[in-house]
Amino acid sequence: MLSTSQLNIVSFHHTYLTIRDMASSTTMASLALALVLLFLGSSSAQLSTNFYSKTCPNLFSTVQPVIQSAISSEKRMGASILRLFFHDCFVNGCDGSLLLDDTSSFTGEKTANPNRNSARGFDVIDKIKAAVEKACPGVVSCADILAISARDSVVLLGGPNWNVKLGRRDARTASLSGANNNIPPPTSSLSNLISKFSAQGLSANEMVALSGAHTIGQARCTSFRARIYNDTNIDGSFDKTRRSNCPSTSGNGDNNLAPLDLQTPTSFDNDYFKNLVNQKGLLHSDQQLFNKGSTDSLVSTYSTNPSKFSSDFVAAMIKMGDISPLTGSQGEIRKNCRKIN
C-alpha cells in the first residue's frame, strides 16, 4: 500500500520524465535533491491542524462540550483522558489501538499491565465519538478524537492551549505485548525511563516535560506501595500520610487512591516539579527525575518557571502526537472506537 507521500513521488517521477528533455542535468539533480529533502522532512508532515476544516468544520465545538461536562461531573476525568492519549501513542503510534475492546477472537491492549484496572475514560470517548459521528459521519478517526480530547482536558484544568495536528487514521490491530513493553512501569529507574521514551523518538528533556502530566490525576496504592515503604529518597511526613491509606501488604487496599500531585491534583500547573524538589514524588519513577541525576536541573527549572514548563510540555505533546500515525489510505475511520469496522 502506498502512503500519500509515496504517491506524490510516483506522480513527480512521471513529471520528471516528461520534462527531462527540456532540463539540464544539473537542474534535475538539484530538483531531485530538493525532493529527497522534502520527503525526509515529511514523515509526520501529513498531519495538519486544519485537516477536517472542510469535512467537519464544527469538530472542535462538538468535542469540547462533552469533555467539559465529563470534567465538571468528575475533575479526575481530564487526567484519565490525557493518560489515554499517552498510552495510545506509545504502542505502534497514535492510532486508537488502545480503545479497542477484547473479544473472543481479538486481543486488545486494555488488559495490559499499565491499563488493567487503571485506564479509564473510555465511555467519555464513546460519547464524543457518537456526537462527532452525528455531525460528520465516517470522517473523524478515534485517534484524532483522543488527541483533541487530551488537549481539551489540559486546557479545562487550567493548563496551556495548542493547535492539535490531525489526520491520523485508526488501526485495525492492537498490541498487548507492545503495551506491556513500551509503557514504563512506576518501578522504572531513570535510565529505563529515558530508554523507553527514546525508543519512541522522545528525548530525556521531553520525557521530563511530559511527566509534568502527573500534576493531575490519581494513582493506586499498588503503584506506589514499594516507594512509600522502601524508598529512602522520600519526605518523612509525606511518607507517613501516604502509608495511612496504603497498607504495606500486597492485596490490602491495592486500589486505594492518592493524588500524583499532593497540592493541586485537579489543576494543571507546575506543582508536580515542586514536589519532586521536596522529595514528595508519589511514584518511584517520579522521584527518579530528581534524584541527583542528569534530569535534576530541568526539574529545578520547571519548579520555578511555569511558563517554560508550559511551552516545553506543549512542544512535547505535539511531538508525541506525531508518533507513527496511520495516514492516507492506511487503517480506517472506525465507526465505533471499541471495534474495528
User: Any idea which residues carry the catalytic annotation?
Assistant: 87
117 counts as binding ligand NAG under rule CB under 6 A: no
Question: What is the maximal distance between C-alpha atoms in the chain?
Answer: 81
Q: Which does 218 bind (CB under 5 to 8 A by kind): ligand NAG, ligand HEM, none?
A: ligand HEM
248 counts as binding ligand NAG under rule CB under 6 A: yes
Closest CB to ligand NAG among residues 56, 228? 228
Closest CB to ligand HEM among residues 62, 196? 196
> Using CB under 6 A, which of the segments 130-138, 226-234, 280-288, 328-336 binds ligand NAG?
226-234
Residues 237-266 that bind ligand HEM (CB under 6 A): 260
Q: What are phi and psi of 60, to 5 degrees?
A: -65, -40
Cell 467519555 -> residue: 124
Residues forming the annotated binding site for heme b?
214
* Least distance in angstroms from the C-beta of 228 to ligand NAG: 8
185 counts as binding ligand NAG under rule CB under 6 A: no
229 counts as binding ligand NAG under rule CB under 6 A: yes
Amino acid at 122: F
285 counts as binding ligand HEM under rule CB under 6 A: yes
Closest CB to ligand HEM among residues 63, 209? 209
Of 230, 245, 252, 278, the one binding ligand NAG (CB under 6 A) is 230
- H-helix segments, the chain: 4-19, 25-40, 59-73, 76-89, 122-135, 142-156, 176-182, 190-198, 204-211, 221-230, 236-243, 271-277, 284-288, 296-304, 306-321
Length of the chain equals 341
* Least distance in angstroms from the C-beta of 219 to ligand NAG: 15
Strand, coil or helix: what is 169? strand
Q: Which does 248 bind (CB under 5 to 8 A by kind): ligand HEM, ligand NAG, none?
A: ligand NAG
Q: Which does 223 bind (CB under 5 to 8 A by kind): ligand HEM, ligand NAG, none?
A: ligand HEM
Of 83, 87, 169, 225, the one binding ligand NAG (CB under 6 A) is 225
Residues 185-204 that bind ligand HEM (CB under 6 A): 186, 188, 193
Q: Which of 118, 120, 127 is nearest to 77 (CA)?
A: 120
- HSE of 337, CA atoms in CB hemisphere, 13 A: 27
Residues forming the annotated binding site?
88, 91, 93, 95, 97, 109, 184, 214-215, 261, 264, 269
CA distances from 136 to 57, 94, 139, 140, 147 (A): 9, 21, 6, 7, 17
**DSSP symbols for 54-115:** TT-TTHHHHHHHHHHHHHHH-THHHHHHHHHHHHHHTTTSSSSGGGPPPBTTB--STTSTTT
Dist. CA 135–CA 113, nearest whole Å: 36
Residues 73-102 that bind ligand HEM (CB under 6 A): 76, 79-80, 82-83, 86
Q: How far is CA 8 from the centre of its chain?
A: 29
* Least distance in angstroms from the C-beta of 94 to ligand HEM: 12
Positions that interact with ligand NAG (CB under 6 A): 225-226, 229-230, 248
